[in-house]
């Protein structure tokens, strides 16, 4: 494969943009203060598609989920997924860090 200057420059900027986008997605690990707790029960979503007059439905099972809303030192809020034990142990107002 022959890479021209334009392709190399384009590849470089795509790589830089991808790197910048991915570094902003790092999970929050604290420290912070718990401001809210949330629990979502298991639920099932059904998706259906029809191809050549044949309809196929597929269930998507979403597992039970426990989350804490944590306010960091700058006042920003982050939703953090935790296990049931940690969710039961932590109260609103507690200091939290992973």
Q: Kindly state whether residue 14 falls inside one of the protein's structural domains.
A: no
Res 29: pLDDT: 82
Residue 44 maps to a domain: yes
pTM of the model: 0.63
- Within-domain flag for 58: yes
Helix (H) or strand (E) holding 62: strand 54-62
In a domain, 7, yes or no: no
Each residue's pLDDT tens digit, 31-77: 999 999 999 999 999 999 999 999 999 999 999 999 999 999 999 99
CA 21 – CA 38 distance, rounded (Å): 27
How many domains is the chain built from? 1
**Is 41 domain-assigned?**
yes
Domain containing residue 80:
28-96
- CATH number of the domain bearing residue 52: 2.40.50
Within a domain: 17: no
């Amino acid at each position: 494969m022959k890479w021209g200057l334009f392709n190399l420059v384009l590849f470089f900027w795509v790589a830089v943009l991808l790197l910048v986008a991915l570094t902003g997605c790092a999970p929050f690990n604290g420290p912070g203060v718990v401001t809210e707790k949330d629990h979502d029960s298991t639920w099932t979503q059904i998706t259906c598609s029809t191809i050549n007059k044949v309809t196929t439905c597929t269930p998507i099972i979403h597992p039970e989920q426990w989350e804490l809303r944590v306010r960091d030192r700058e006042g920003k809020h982050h939703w953090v997924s935790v296990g049931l034990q940690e969710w039961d142990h932590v109260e609103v107002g507690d200091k939290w860090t992973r």
